[in-house]
């Protein structure tokens, strides 16, 4: 990740103008309605599709999901023509030929590299969920696809919510301005419940819905890559750089596991300038109070800061203090990003600042996942050189 001011500017440009949601809607109604298709129409995908429809600057004209009934349910809710509802593994390709200008990718992340590359080949704008991939080769494919999109003048945005919150932005800006002195340590955390992990069937078809795929490294990247990445991404936003190595431990804590993902983590990331990031996480239904489930503490030589997903943004230093509630970020952050995506399309801004950070965050969580699973220190350079591909078993699935 780029240290220095370029990182601060690029992160903030994602949400250019916090009142931009309103401005985006005005642009949408008066200047341009973007014809968008949604790939992956499960719980979050259908919800994201509804937010695009509500924005005013989009027309949802096509949907695709592996399951026909899921695509139809989303299509019915949004009034999508039955001729533009697609299903099966190859449904996304048909959607991209159905007269869309942009796609929203909301599938399990194993699919993202294939889907993003196809979208860029088709000359479409891309709005994508995180994480961008489950392995190193997938991350590098997304990086290359996004670079090609920029060269073609197409917008490519990865949807993270914490960097869109005004309080979080203020805290990070103040830290970058030196308000708490040199940052010497970061502590990120993700303490939440888990997801159902039923027995495996004859194929992986029954693991492609209801977030079951988070339990499988090949399909969803595992709990650290898929969920903890929110907190790790926030820490890298503050750090302005990527780690050079990680060490730690992890284990499976959920009862009767059937997927191969670990769900309890303790990790330490090292940075080239001596900065240390400690990350702790659990994804267990253990009745833990989950109001403050995800965030990052920032420790400087003369003060500290805190950014979060569902609690507060705070800054404490000798001469002053700042505190603001982080409100409804799951929905508010998505709306801000949808508005920013539309604004970038309308203005022809293909700088695509979110992609670099999203790729680095995915690589960082993959590094942590592997270091914890192998219980040894792994350098980022070695992970990239290893370039290990993780293949999902797609046998028996609908084409």
Which pLDDT belongs to residue 319?
Answer: 82
Residue pair 295/189 in contact (Cβ under 8 Å)? The answer is yes
Cα angle 43-45-47, degrees, rounded to a multiple of 5: 70
Which pLDDT belongs to residue 210?
Answer: 94
CATH number for 20: 3.40.50.720
Predicted confidence band of residue 17 (pLDDT cuts 50, 70, 90): very low
**398 in a domain, yes or no?**
no
Which pLDDT belongs to residue 129?
Answer: 98
Q: Which of 1-10, 81-90, 346-355 has the lowest mean pLDDT?
A: 1-10
**188 in a domain, yes or no?**
yes
Split into its structural domains, the chain has a count of 2
**395 in a domain, yes or no?**
no
* pLDDT tens-place string over residues 189-240: 999 999 999 999 999 999 999 999 999 999 999 999 999 999 999 999 999 9
Residue 84: which domain range?
5-161+334-352
Predicted confidence band of residue 297 (pLDDT cuts 50, 70, 90): very high
Which pLDDT belongs to residue 31?
Answer: 57
Cα angle 18-330-143, degrees, rounded to a multiple of 5: 80
User: What average pLDDT does this structure show over 47-71?
Assistant: 98
Do 176 and 86 belong together in one domain? no
Q: Which of 24-38, 74-88, 116-130, 338-352 has the lowest mean pLDDT?
A: 24-38
* pLDDT over threshold 80, residue 159: yes
The 3 state secondary structure assigned to the chain is CCCCHHHHHHHHHCCCCCCHHHHHHHHHHHCCCEEEEEECCCHHHHHHHHHHHHHCCEEEEEEEECCHHHHHHHHHHHCCCHHHEEECCCHHHHHCCCCCCEEEECCCHHHHHHHHHHHHHCCCEEEECCCCCCCHHHHHHHHHHHHHHHHCCCCEEECCCHHHCHHHHHHHHHHHCCCCCCEEEEEEEEEECCCCCCCCCCCCHHHCCCCHHHHCHHHHCHHHHHHHHHHHHHHHHHHCCCCCEEEEEEECCCCCCCCCCCCEEEEEEECCCCCEEEEEEEECCCCCCCCCCEEEEEEECCCEEEEECCCEEEEEECCEEEEEECCCHHHHHHHHHHHHHHHHHHHCCCCCHHHHHHHHHHHHHHHHHHHHHHCCCEEHHHHHHHCCCCCCCCCCCCC
Which pLDDT belongs to residue 291?
Answer: 80
Which pLDDT belongs to residue 390?
Answer: 98
Q: Convert 258-295 to b/e letters by CB count within 10 Å (16 or more is b).
A: ebebbbbbebbbbbeeebebbbbbbbbeeeeeeeebbb
Do 169 and 157 belong together in one domain? no
**391 in a domain, yes or no?**
no
Do 194 and 323 belong together in one domain? yes
Do 133 and 220 belong together in one domain? no
Do 101 and 213 belong together in one domain? no
Burial (CB < 10 A; 0-12, 13-18, 19+), residue 321, is: exposed
Do 221 and 277 belong together in one domain? yes
Which pLDDT belongs to residue 377?
Answer: 98
Do 188 and 290 belong together in one domain? yes
Do 69 and 205 belong together in one domain? no
Predicted confidence band of residue 289 (pLDDT cuts 50, 70, 90): confident
Q: Which of 90, 88, 89, 106 is nearest to 37 (CA)?
A: 106
CATH number for 366: 3.30.360.10
Do 293 and 342 belong together in one domain? no
Which pLDDT belongs to residue 2?
Answer: 28
In whole angstroms, give the CA distance from residue 127 to residue 214: 21
User: What average pLDDT does this structure show over 62-75?
Assistant: 98
* pLDDT tens-place string over residues 310-359: 999 999 988 889 999 999 999 999 999 999 999 999 999 999 999 999 99
Do 381 and 308 belong together in one domain? yes
**150 in a domain, yes or no?**
yes
Do 156 and 170 belong together in one domain? no
**397 in a domain, yes or no?**
no
**310 in a domain, yes or no?**
yes
* pLDDT over threshold 90, residue 18: no
pTM summary value: 0.92
Question: Given strand 294-300, what is the order of strands in its sheet?
Answer: 320-325, 312-317, 304-308, 294-300, 183-192, 276-283, 264-270, 245-251, 378-379
Q: Which of 8-17, 163-172, 283-292, 336-345 has the lowest mean pLDDT?
A: 8-17
Measured between its terminal Cα atoms, the distance across the chain in Å is: 38
* pLDDT tens-place string over residues 237-270: 999 999 999 999 999 999 999 999 999 999 999 9
**396 in a domain, yes or no?**
no
* pLDDT tens-place string over residues 125-156: 999 999 999 999 999 999 999 999 999 999 99
Do 345 and 227 belong together in one domain? no
Residue pair 141/252 in contact (Cβ under 8 Å)? The answer is no
In whole angstroms, give the CA distance from residue 222 to residue 205: 17
* pLDDT over threshold 70, residue 7: no
Which pLDDT belongs to residue 320?
Answer: 80
Cα angle 318-311-130, degrees, rounded to a multiple of 5: 115
Predicted confidence band of residue 20 (pLDDT cuts 50, 70, 90): very low
Whole-number average pLDDT of the chain: 92
């Amino acid at each position: 990740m780029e240290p220095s001011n370029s990182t601060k500017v690029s992160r903030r440009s994602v949400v250019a103008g916090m009142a931009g949601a309103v401005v985006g809607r005005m642009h949408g109604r008066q200047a341009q309605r973007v014809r968008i298709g949604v790939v992956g129409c499960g719980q979050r995908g259908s919800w994201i599709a509804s937010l695009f429809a509500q924005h005013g600057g989009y027309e949802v004209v096509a949907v695709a999901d592996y399951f026909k009934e899921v695509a139809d349910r989303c299509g019915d809710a949004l009034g999508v023509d039955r001729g533009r509802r697609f299903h099966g593994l190859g449904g996304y390709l048909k959607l991209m030929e159905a007269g869309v200008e942009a796609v929203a990718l909301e599938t399990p992340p194993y699919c993202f590299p294939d889907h993003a590359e196809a979208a860029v080949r088709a000359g479409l704008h891309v709005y994508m969920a995180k994480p961008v991939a489950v392995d190193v080769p997938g991350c590098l494919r997304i990086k290359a696809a996004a670079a090609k999109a920029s060269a073609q003048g197409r917008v490519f945005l990865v949807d993270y919510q914490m960097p869109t919150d005004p309080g979080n932005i203020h805290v990070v800006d103040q830290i970058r301005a030196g308000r708490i002195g040199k940052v010497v340590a970061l502590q990120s955390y993700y303490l939440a419940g888990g997801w159902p992990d039923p027995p495996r069937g004859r194929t992986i078809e029954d693991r492609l819905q209801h977030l079951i795929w988070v339990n499988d490294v090949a399909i969803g990247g595992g709990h650290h890559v898929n969920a903890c990445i929110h907190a790790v991404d926030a820490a890298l936003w503050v750090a302005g750089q990527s780690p050079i190595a990680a060490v730690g431990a992890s284990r499976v804590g959920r009862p009767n596991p059937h997927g191969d993902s670990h769900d309890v983590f303790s990790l330490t990331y090292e940075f080239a300038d001596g900065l240390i990031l400690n990350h702790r996480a659990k994804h267990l239904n253990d009745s833990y109070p989950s109001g403050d489930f995800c965030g990052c503490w920032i420790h400087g030589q003369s003060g500290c800061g805190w950014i979060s997903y569902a609690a507060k943004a705070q800054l404490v230093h000798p001469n002053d203090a700042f505190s603001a509630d982080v409100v409804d970020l799951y929905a508010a952050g998505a709306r801000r990003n949808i508005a920013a995506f539309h604004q970038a399309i309308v203005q022809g801004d293909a700088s695509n600042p979110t992609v670099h950070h999203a790729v680095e965050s995915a690589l960082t969580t993959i590094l942590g996942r592997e270091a914890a699973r192998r219980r040894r220190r792994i350098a980022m350079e070695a992970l990239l050189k290893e370039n290990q591909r993780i293949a999902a078993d797609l046998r028996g699935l609908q084409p």
